[in-house]
Amino acid sequence: MRNYNEETLAVLLRTLPAAPEAWVKAAQEIPLARRGLDDIVARAEADRAFREALVMDAEAALEGAGYEHDPALAEAVREHLTP
């Protein structure tokens, strides 16, 4: 059994610095991306009326555009569109 004295623990804790937050967030959004997040954001950037509808009520706008009911996706869209 290794002796975890203070010095060893300090070294081991320092060995794993946090990954950049933006990278982590992007990786965490992979399931949402697979469900169309990137396409929705791109369409909102190109279509002002769609963007406004999403900002006002993302879930309703998505369902109106033919997406399945998906609160997590709607929340992610809101996050991407609001500054």
For other proteins, the binding residues (CB under 8 A) are 1-2, 4-6, 9-10, 12-20, 23-24, 26-28, 30-32, 34, 72
Of 6 and 46, which has the nearer Cβ to other proteins? 6
Q: Give whichever of 37 and 61 is closer to other proteins, judged by the CB atom.
A: 37
Closest approach of Cβ 54 to other proteins, in Å? 19
Nearer to other proteins, 7 or 46 (CB): 7
Q: How far is the CB of 3 from other proteins (least distance, A)?
A: 9
CB 19, min distance to other proteins, A: 4
- Name the nearest CA neighbour of 54 among 16, 80, 20, 28: 80
DSSP string, the chain: -----HHHHHHHHHHSPPPPHHHHHHHHTHHHHHTTHHHHHHHHHH-HHHHHHHHH-HHHHHHHTTPPP-HHHHHHHHHHH--
